[in-house]
Amino acid sequence: MAENITIDSGVTKAEQYEQLLPQIQSLVGDETDEQALLASTAAALHHGFGFFWTGFYRVIENELVLGAFQGPVACMRIAYGRGVCGTAWKEGQSIIVPDVDQFPGHISCNSASRSEIVVPLKDKNSEVRAILDVDSNQLNAFDTTDQQYLEQIANWLSQKLF
């Protein structure tokens, strides 16, 4: 197992994700435990890219409940349709928020968070089972490149877990 996740600076964001993906896959190997997979993926993404907050909310009954994450403490439960995460659950699709102050109903877990992207993890029946949430302390930090690669990671996790 690699001891550290390393990504070159000075290359494009897409190239950084291309470097990170095989490292995450090598890190988790054939592990199938949900906690181990989500925790390791959150840590690899968070420390690889230096995000402000990186983690997962899991669908448990009628709420999103905080799961494995890296970063400051965060809200533990989010209702269906509430905030960015609850909206992504309801709509079943990723959401990029360039400025959290402009997203109606955004749930502020930490005032330093300025932009975010959320990506749903779906099971084989297309039901949302978890949400990957990544926050930045910079405005406009995420774009369609992040969406493409984070969806690739989310789909890879979903296939293993759900």
Give contact residues for ligand SME (rule: CB under 6 A).
Answer: 53, 74-75, 78, 83-85, 106-107, 109, 113, 116, 133, 135
Least separation in angstroms between CB 145 and ligand SME: 20
Question: Given the complex with ligand SME, which of 20 and 132 has the nearer CB atom?
Answer: 132
Q: Which of 159, 155, 152, 153 is CA-nearest to residue 27?
A: 153
Q: How many CB atoms lie within 10 A of CB 33?
A: 12
Q: What radius of gyration do the chain's Cα atoms show? A: 15
Secondary structure letter of residue 139 according to DSSP? T
The minimum distance between CB 133 and ligand SME, in angstroms, equals 5
Rounded least distance, CB 71 to ligand SME, Å: 8
Single out the residue of 48, 63, 11 nearest to residue 134, CA to CA.
48
Nearer to ligand SME by Cβ, of 75 and 161: the residue is 75
Q: How far apart are CA 122 and CA 114, in angstroms?
A: 26
- Choose between 67 and 83: whose C-beta lies nearer to ligand SME: 83
CB of 112 to ligand SME, least distance (A): 11
